[in-house]
Amino acid sequence: MSVNPASPAGASGQAASNGRKALSVLIVSTLAFTVCFMVWMMFGVIGIPIKKALNLNSTEFGLLTAMPVLSGSLIRVPLGIWTDKFGGRIVFFCLMMACVLPIWLMSYATAYWHFLVIGLFVGLAGGSFSVGTPYVARWFPKNRQGFAMGVFGAGNSGAAVNKFVAPGLVVAFGWTMVPHVYAAVLLGTAILFWFFSHSDDKHLVTSNASFVSQLKALKDPRVLKYCQYYSIVFGGYVALSLWMVQYYVGEYGLDIRVAALLAACFSLPGGVLRAVGGWMSDKHGAHNVTWWVLWVSWICLFILSYPQTDFTVMTVNGAKTFHIGLNVYVFTGLMFTLGIAWAFGKASVFKYISDDYGANIGTISGIVGLAGGLGGFVLPIMFGALMDLTGIRSSAFMLMYAVVWVSLIWMYWTEVRKTEMMGKNAPASPISQSFAR
């Protein structure tokens, strides 16, 4: 006996089937993105023994860690376009398979330029975000897309997984074991993804637009603004995830395993809690969440910027020296708070996109992801250059503090002040909205 799809029973069965497929797509895509992100952040740990072996300065180390981020960023817009055109399932699978061999070959590199070149190919795994975001979002209704994209974005926790796994492999077997293990894990994940993911032709977007024409979206001031926000909450997250292990080792003299564990206190909430940020963005709006994220970031980065300082004061009893600086516990607590804020911010920025560009989410998410990724590429190099120039490790946080200032001012003039001038019929400001709720 067949059931008419148009009947209530048939419609109910079809909805249940779609719901199961959507859940399966969300789970397996999040797993795949977690593994891809783990691979993408590989140099954050293995870069430390490589730096020592090759006698690299801080700028060279920053470039080494940033090379995978560069290619993973530049590929995001084409991947977003291809996802719209061909579907997320096939694009995601092919992307993972294309990264397996370069990851394996990483263990055979010996010269600095070897690592830079192979790092570009390994970095393609970072483009998986621009595939998975539209792929997952289109399986869910609009009022649940923020949460769905937040769950998928929790794959950023792959940065923390890298910090849990890689240090043990480095200490036990040497850094060359890490690429071998990661290549095998990525291959297994790609196969698993293929068998448990689904495709739907209704999700395809027919477009003959070229890469260059898609970039014309950058003329939209809103897209530029979202790029700026994302360069902080994602670009800053990537940069600090790559930088923190060696920061702990240099600043506090910790063992690489302890340093990686503490650095995970920033990376883990920065990934896992993205789903909570998606839920909050659905409930309270992308604007309110982003506004609070930027203010929390401003406060944390202001405190983190202060270097270890000794100063002498002439008292009535003679000279007295005082020390001001963050100990490892306060520093880790601030980084933990910053990770939570940026997890919410990453989700809220993409809620902006799903609200404003629902029909073109693949391309816009690719462009915004590109901006965020380029932030993750440029910042580690600038961290290293500032370190070499000033000798102050906290100069990395000084730079991030300045970038957050730009976003706060931009948001105030384009959103907060505009809302305030709309009059009494509109909400007064994000702050008053938040308290009202």
Check residue 352 and give its pLDDT: 82
Task: Indicate whether 248 pLDDT > 60.
Answer: yes
3-class DSSP string for 55-119: CCCHHHHHHHHHHHHHHHHHCHHHHHHHHHHHCHHHHHHHHHHHHHHHHHHHHHCCCHHHHHHHH
Binned at pLDDT 50, 70 and 90, residue 60 comes out as very high
Distances (CA, A) of 395 to 32, 248, 276, 385: 35, 14, 31, 10
Cβ atoms within 10 A of the Cβ of 414, count? 13
Largest CA distance in the chain: 99
Distances (CA, A) of 190 to 90, 99, 201, 333: 11, 10, 21, 36
Binned at pLDDT 50, 70 and 90, residue 211 comes out as low
Q: How many percent of the chain have pLDDT more than 70?
A: 86
Per-domain residue ranges of the chain? 15-197+218-436
138 backbone dihedrals φ, ψ, rounded to 5°: -75, -10
320 DSSP β-pair partners: 313
pLDDT tens, 128-150?
988 888 888 888 887 777 778 77
Q: Is residue 162 within 8 Å of 44, Cβ to Cβ?
A: yes
Task: Indicate whether 9 pLDDT > 60.
Answer: no
> Lowest-pLDDT range, 75-79, 199-203, 262-266?
199-203
pLDDT tens, 163-198?
889 998 998 899 999 999 999 999 999 999 999 888
Task: Indicate whether 1 pLDDT > 70.
Answer: no
Q: Which residues contact 390 (CB under 8 A, 6 or more apart)?
A: none
312 backbone dihedrals φ, ψ, rounded to 5°: -110, 130
Check residue 223 and give its pLDDT: 84
Binned at pLDDT 50, 70 and 90, residue 113 comes out as very high
pLDDT tens, 280-331?
887 888 888 888 999 999 999 999 998 888 888 988 888 888 888 889 999 9
* pLDDT, mean over the chain: 84
Report the C-alpha gap between 196 and 28 in whole angstroms.
7
- From the list 400, 366, 387, the residue with the least C-alpha distance to 63 is 387
- From the list 258, 260, 268, 298, the residue with the least C-alpha distance to 397 is 298
If you average pLDDT over residues 330-337, what whole number do you get?
94
311 DSSP β-pair partners: 322
Q: Is residue 362 within 8 Å of 134, Cβ to Cβ?
A: yes
Check residue 101 and give its pLDDT: 95
160 SS3 class = helix
Structure tokens at 98: 């294309």
Domain 15-197+218-436, CATH homologous superfamily name and number? MFS general substrate transporter like domains (1.20.1250.20)
Check residue 427 and give its pLDDT: 45
Report the C-alpha gap between 218 and 172 in whole angstroms.
47
Q: DSSP secondary-structure letter at 311?
A: E
If you average pLDDT over residues 325-345, what whole number do you get?
92
pTM of the model: 0.77
Structure tokens at 122: 């390994």
Binned at pLDDT 50, 70 and 90, residue 386 comes out as very high
Task: Indicate whether 247 pLDDT > 70.
Answer: yes
Amino acid found at 215: L
Give residue for tokens 């002439």.
314
Report the C-alpha gap between 408 and 402 in whole angstroms.
10
Task: Indicate whether 430 pLDDT > 60.
Answer: no
